[in-house]
C-alpha cells in the first residue's frame, strides 16, 4: 500500500469524526487516483459504461476525488480532504475541513438529475456537524445549479473545470 501511495496511484482518505460521535466508521477509505489506469485495469470502455452505469459511477468518484485533492493542494488555505460514513450507512463522499473546523460535504452522482434522497448523507452530516457545516453539494451530470435546501445545492460536475 505504501508503494502505491508513493507512486500516487492510491490515497488513503481519513474519516471525519470526533470523540462524541461513536457511530462514525473510523477506517480510512482508499481512493485510486488515476481514473484512466483504473478504467483500463477494469477492462472498461464507453460501451461497458453504457451497459453498467454503476461501474461508471465508481470511476467518476475516483476522478472527482482526485480533482478535489488537486484543487485543495493548490490553494493557499489550510484544508483537509476527509470522508464520512456512519454505522447506519449514511455517507458523504468527500468532506473538506478548514483549519478553523468549517466543513463542506460533497457527494458525487453519475446521473443527469438529482432527487432529495441524493442528499440523505449530507443531511445527516449537517445534523452531526452543527454550526461547523458551511455547505453541502451534490455534483451531478446535469447543467443547472439547483438549491436543494438550507446550505445544500446540486451543482454540475463541469463546475470542477470552472474553479
CATH architecture group of domain 2-161: 3-Layer(aba) Sandwich (3.40)
Confidence band of 102 (pLDDT split at 50, 70, 90) = very high
b/e for 142-160, b at 16 or more Cβ within 10 A?
beeeeebeeebbbbbbeee
The pLDDT of residue 89: 84
Identify the weakest region by mean pLDDT among 70-74, 80-84, 96-100, 150-154: 70-74
31 alpha carbon, distance to own chain's centre: 10
Closest CA to 11 of 64, 88, 87: 64
Domain boundaries, the chain: 2-161
DSSP one-letter string for 71-127: HHHHSSS-EEEEEEEBTT--EEEEEEEETT--EEEEEE--SS---GGGGHHHHHHHH
Of 160 and 101, the one with more pLDDT: 101
pLDDT by residue (tens digit) across 51-94? 777 778 888 899 999 999 998 988 778 999 999 988 888 899 99
- Report the SS3 class of residue 39: helix
Other beta carbons within 10 Å of 65: 23
Choice among 3-7, 17-21, 113-117, 144-148 with the minimum mean pLDDT: 17-21
Compute φ and ψ for 76, nearest 5 degrees: -95, 5
What is the structure's pLDDT at 140? 96
What is the grid cell recorded at 27? 477506517
pLDDT at position 124 = 94
Angle (deg, nearest 10), helices 53-74 and 35-42: 160
User: Which SS3 state, helix, strand or coil, does residue 10 take?
Assistant: strand
Would you state the pLDDT for residue 145? 96
Of 110, 104, 111, nearest to 163 (Cα)? 104
User: What CA–CA distance (Å, rounded) separates 69 from 31?
Assistant: 11
Q: Which residues contact 52 (CB under 8 A, 6 or more apart)?
A: none
Amino acid at each position: 500500500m505504501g508503494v502505491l501511495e508513493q507512486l500516487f496511484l492510491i490515497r488513503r482518505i481519513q474519516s471525519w469524526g470526533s470523540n462524541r460521535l461513536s457511530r462514525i466508521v473510523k477506517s480510512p477509505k482508499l481512493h485510486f487516483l488515476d481514473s484512466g489506469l483504473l478504467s483500463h485495469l477494469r477492462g472498461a470502455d464507453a460501451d461497458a459504461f453504457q451497459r453498467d452505469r454503476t461501474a461508471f459511477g465508481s470511476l467518476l468518484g475516483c476522478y472527482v476525488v482526485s480533482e478535489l485533492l488537486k484543487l485543495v493542494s493548490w490553494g493557499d488555505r489550510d484544508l483537509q480532504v476527509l470522508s464520512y460514513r456512519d454505522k447506519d450507512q449514511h455517507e458523504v463522499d468527500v468532506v473538506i475541513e478548514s483549519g478553523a473546523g468549517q466543513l463542506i460535504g460533497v457527494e458525487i452522482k453519475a446521473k443527469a438529475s438529482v432527487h432529495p434522497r441524493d442528499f440523505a448523507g449530507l443531511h445527516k452530516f449537517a445534523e452531526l456537524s452543527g454550526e461547523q457545516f458551511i455547505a453541502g453539494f451534490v455534483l451531478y451530470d446535469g447543467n443547472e445549479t439547483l438549491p436543494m435546501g438550507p446550505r445544500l445545492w446540486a451543482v454540475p460536475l463541469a463546475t470542477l473545470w470552472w474553479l
